[in-house]
Structure 1
Amino acid sequence: MSDLAREDDNGEEERDDGAPIEVLEAYFEARGWPCERSGDGEIVGSAPGSWAQYELRGVWRPDDGVLQFLAFPDVKVAADKKAAIYETLGLVNEQLWLGHFELWSNSGLIVFRYAALLDGGDEGLSFEQAEAIAEAALEECERFYPVFQFVLWGGKSPSEAISAALIETAGEA
């Protein structure tokens, strides 16, 4: 039984979902990802990917009932590449259903951001939702990391980078 579950009077497992940051912390720990709380409303963790080590950050705003989840794919953009990356971000974001990538102008970092409006305030995030949010963020970072690298280091145009990185293969080699 997980830390977020308990048995009711009939021996049935019952969910005991906590505040969003506590739930994210439990999820990170269950995955074995190092994490650290930076106050009541924020957690920072680290998760491995095939392309990079990703910094994950959850920020809870109880007044608004919003959990912001950020994933940093360890991509820094030099000033001379910003125009190409802005075009790339536009093309990449057209491919997304949830969340978006953006370039933080003050640091030059690319970040994936997802905001969840949680009904129920402090009790509104389940372990399963935390898993879905974190996995979706990592999946999108993994999927588009090569696109950013093709533009920044491979000399490809944004549309060429998207085409090259998103080729779907059929079968196995």
Structure 2
Amino acid sequence: MMLDEHEFGREDAAPIDMLESYFAAHGWEHERQDEEIVARFKGSWTQYELRALWREDDGVLQFLAFPDIRVTEERRAAIYETIGLVNEQLWVGHFELWASTGVLLYRHAALVDGEDGTLSLGSAELIVDSAIDECERFYPVFQFVLWGGKSPKEALAAAMTETQGEA
């Protein structure tokens, strides 16, 4: 859902302030603590945790999306291969697997340029929407590998098949 800057009330703000306003405007549950914010969003496939951390010294906004996928030890090799194939399809951000917990996530770091260190509404929307879009797009690929018994290449091919028309 596109938000209009005039309806939103401002064109730019400190990164975490902008994301907090963005999440509130969408009615998403969220919690903020200093330079970090966590929101929850119900997607088509699963519930997502969206997390942003602002590092003012570096001018970097780290954005993470957790699609509620945990990978068991015996499936990790297949998921690492899947992540490699999936990441070849992405223009921004990447998927990764946290080895210590088996949690799959999408990560994108955005450089926030400018002397005032503000994030525009358009940039906030792009960061959040692209993370959600990529998680939604590739969620079936990871599920096909984890639960469908498909190889990473088969899963990617099956999930990326575009349907024509409506059933």
TM over 0.5: yes
Out of 66, 79, 86, the position equivalent to 1:85 is: 79
* Kept in 2: contact 1:62–1:121 (CA 8 A): no
Which aligned runs of 4 or more in structure 1 are off by greater than 3 angstroms? 1-4
Go from structure 1 to structure 2 and tell me whether the alpha carbon gap of 1:25 and 1:121 turns closer, same or farther (over 3 Å shift). Answer: farther
SS at match of 2:119: coil
Q: Which amino acid aligns with 2:16?
A: I
Provide TM-score, normalisation by structure 2.
0.93
**2:126 matched to 1:132?**
yes
Question: Alpha-carbon deviation of 1:3?
Answer: 5.3
Q: Among the aligned pairs, what percent are the same residue?
A: 63
SS of alignment partner, residue 90 of structure 2 = coil
Q: How many residues align?
A: 162
Structure 1 spans left out of the alignment, 5+ residues = 6-14
Secondary structure, counterpart of 1:123 in structure 2: coil
Find the residue that maps to 1:156 and give its secondary structure.
coil
Q: TM-score, normalised by structure 1?
A: 0.90
Gaps of 5+ in 2: 1-5
Q: 1:159 to 1:121 in 2, by over 3 A?
A: farther
Report the AA paired with residue 119 of structure 2. Answer: L
CA contact (8 A) 1:81 1:152 kept: yes
| Structure index of larger Rg | 1
CA offset digits 1:83-108 (Å, max 9, x no partner): 00000000000000000000011110
1:22 aligned residue (17, 23, 43): 17
Pairwise CA RMSD: 1.2
Residue 147 (str. 1) matches residue 141 (str. 2): yes
Q: How does 1:1-173 map to 2 (within 5 A)?
A: 1-2=6-7, 4-5=9-10, 15=11, 17-38=12-33, 40-120=34-114, 123-173=117-167
Contact 1:65–1:121, Cα closer than 8 Å, also in 2: no
